[in-house]
Structure 1
Amino acid sequence: MKYIDKFHPDNFYHIFNHAVGNENLFNSHENYIFFLSRFEHYIFPIAKTFSYCLMRNHFHFLIQVRNENIIRELANNTDQDFDFHKFIMQRLSNFLNSYAKAFNKQNNRKGALFLDFTKRAQIQDETYFLRLINYIHQNPVHHQFCKTAADWYYSSYNSIISLNKFSKLERDAVFDWFGGIEEFVSFHQREKFSNFDFLDL
């Protein structure tokens, strides 16, 4: 796994972070929903989202940063020396900080909630996409919170397969990678734990 120092336009990234110490990021259903609302506000404008999973003390997202023209328009910046990476990092920081402030206020706590460094790994290999999406969805199974990926409410698995449900997830692209919804479901059913040694988290 190669960790990348900078975000670049149109590239795919696995981003993930963990609560500090033995803290939890989420203590209630409302916490999970609010976290996703903050993600939608700060990250959807700058990146397409292909999968995610929120666990009690950590999270995973697979995203594709949008093209430079879209980012520049959002930043209202046409300067030649525009720092693309810095702008994406600021949005990511604003996202996590906005959630942490609300969480701290609700729980009467102070200090950092997330680890200082949100890890990000660039994804380029199509086979890796399949394994990574499955890995993300199988996290709660791996940690023994549920028996199947479909049982965990706070991941993108059910939103992806629920075709009648409005979603901002890139479902068509996910199905293209897997070869259709049937293969997407089948892959998750037969590959529950086999790929949990390919990431160094």
Structure 2
Amino acid sequence: MLNFKTYYHIYNHANGDDNLFREKENYNFFLKKYHQHIDPIAETIAWCLLPNHFHLLVKIKSEEAIAETHPKFQTLDEFEARTAFLSKQFANFFSSYTQAFNKVYKRRGSLFIKNFKRKEVLDDDYLRNLILYIHLNPAKHGFKKEIDEWPWTSWNMFPNEYSQLAKELFGDLEQYNRAHKNKQTDFEEYVKLENDLIQST
């Protein structure tokens, strides 16, 4: 269940053997709809889009900040009702993208797996490793040999947009780059990272 002022790992996969993205325009449109639906309720710290799945690290905004853009949210008294509202924002986003995608490609039915995954980030170690995992996904799945060759990720943007958090978690830019490289080149370390972050959910 989503909470306020906390970090979450959110991820989902295409339904069956389909892809979420078939061409460049799909990635751009996904990001456009994502920002439309999710920016009012959360900051996106790190992200990666791959043809058949995606990973997001988000920080849910304060209740006051959400109420500024969604007046209805302010009238919801129960904690459960407010967290359901936040989950509904993600559901609306997935639905909006699916409808547009289906129209373009003349397909029918759900595009995403019904229930998206979400896991709360409870400590700095998990937060640090999650950022590494998200950015290394394109190399892990073999879409590119080097992570900086994949355009649909926050790898280059994160140290600039969240410089203070990057400094707290990784140190300077050289250490940030080295941390990614070390996980990428050490297969056993990467497998351990995946087991800790994904298979425990």
TM-score when scaled to structure 1?
0.89
Aligned to 1:45: 40
- Contact 2:76–2:82 (8 Å) recurs in 1: no
Counting only pairs closer than 5 Å after superposition, residues 1-201 of structure 1 correspond to structure 2 as 6-77=1-72, 78-79=74-75, 81-82=77-78, 83-161=81-159, 163=160, 169-192=161-184, 193=187, 194=189, 195-198=193-196, 199-200=198-199
Question: Matches of 2:103 and 2:28 in 1, distance apart?
Answer: 17
Partner letter of residue 123 of structure 2? D
The 3-state SS of whatever aligns with 1:120 is strand
CA RMSD of aligned residues (A): 1.6
Question: Matches of 1:18 and 1:109 in 2, distance apart?
Answer: 17
Aligned to 1:166: none
**By how many angstroms is 1:116 displaced?**
0.5
The 3-state SS of whatever aligns with 2:11 is strand
The 3-state SS of whatever aligns with 2:54 is strand
Q: Give the count of matched residue pairs.
A: 190
TM-score when scaled to structure 2?
0.89
Question: For residues 102-155 of structure 1, what are the alpha-carbon distances to aligned partners after superposition, in whole Å with 9 as ceiling and x for unaligned?
Answer: 111110001000011011000011011111111111111111111121111111
Question: Matches of 1:175 and 1:54 in 2, distance apart?
Answer: 24
Specify which structure has the bigger relative contact order, considering alpha-carbon pairs within 8 angstroms and separated by 6 or more residues: 1
Higher helix share: 2
The 3-state SS of whatever aligns with 1:60 is strand
**By how many angstroms is 1:24 displaced?**
0.3
Question: Matches of 2:68 and 2:16 in 1, distance apart?
Answer: 39
- Listed as ranges, the gaps of 5+ residues in structure 2 are none
In percent, how many aligned pairs have the same letter? 35
- Listed as ranges, the gaps of 5+ residues in structure 1 are 1-5, 164-168
- Contact 2:57–2:131 (8 Å) recurs in 1: yes
- Contact 1:50–1:171 (8 Å) recurs in 2: no
